[in-house]
Amino acid sequence: MHPNLVPPLDVHEEELKLRRELVRQRPLIKLNAVLFFGEGARSARGCGVDGAGALWSCPGKLRPRHIPQFIIVTGHKQRHRGNMGINGFYQRFDQDFHGRPVYQKIMERRQVKRSLVTETGDLVSRPEDNFIRMWKPRSQEALVLSRRFQTVCEVPTEDADDVMVYPKLLPSKEVWFLFFDDRRGAWCIGPAIGAIEIYAKCFTVEEAIPCNLGEWQVWDIGKKEWYTNKGIRLIKVG
């Protein structure tokens, strides 16, 4: 009865035709979809579990892409905001996450008591140094309950007279991971791969490896808020 009525089947075919023409004229439209949808799509562009960025096909000729074995995270100097453990020496983990490589912190610079440093510059080993603190995931209810008595404060930064920064790298006393999380669209530093509670994040979906990433958002443990830290830098090694 309606003079301008078009059958739904014809509308669908016309829409597909227009979409194919649009993709042909602007190839990046297809690329943007590939960036976000599915493990199979990431594998198709060389960022799957087996490749994790070995080939990068956006768009044009395939180019080999080197994945570094080590990443140095440095530049976080705002001690009054906490989470100084972000800095450190990270090694590539034996598994990937969301189609991109994962790195685990293995070495760090640490403050120690002067009495534990010998005249030759060696550090006296203690039994508690072999204890590594592990993170345990909490439910959403537990997270809400844990915030009931939180207070906002400034993190004290004054050093005691008997404390010094040890000049050599020491094994990490906590478990820290550097990974890409599709749910956030960001590279994250947290206590476990895919953890909900993270310490820092950098929103960049186009980087297949975490190198030269800037504009990091870091969690302020005193004020309980995210802030931008422009000093953090990630440097690939090896």
pLDDT score, position 54 = 41
pLDDT score, position 45 = 44
Q: What is the token pair recorded at 16?
A: 């597909």
Give residue limits of the domains in the chain.
Answer: 8-64, 70-237
Give me the amino acid identity at 165.
V
pLDDT score, position 57 = 42
pLDDT score, position 187 = 93
The packing angle between helices 8-25 and 28-36, to 10°, is 100
**Of 75, 190, 85, 188, residue with least CA distance to 137:** 190
Kind plus residue range of the DSSP H or E element containing 85 = none
Kindly report the CA angle at 74 between 230 and 152, in degrees rounded to 5?
A: 60
**Of 94, 99, 20, 102, residue with least CA distance to 56:** 99
pLDDT score, position 51 = 42
pLDDT along the chain (238 residues), means of 10: 61 70 63 52 47 44 69 87 88 89 90 81 76 73 75 71 80 89 90 89 86 86 87 86
pLDDT score, position 46 = 46
Alpha carbon distance 215, 234 (integer Å): 11
pLDDT score, position 2 = 58
pLDDT score, position 131 = 67
pLDDT score, position 44 = 46
Alpha carbon distance 235, 107 (integer Å): 15
pLDDT score, position 150 = 72
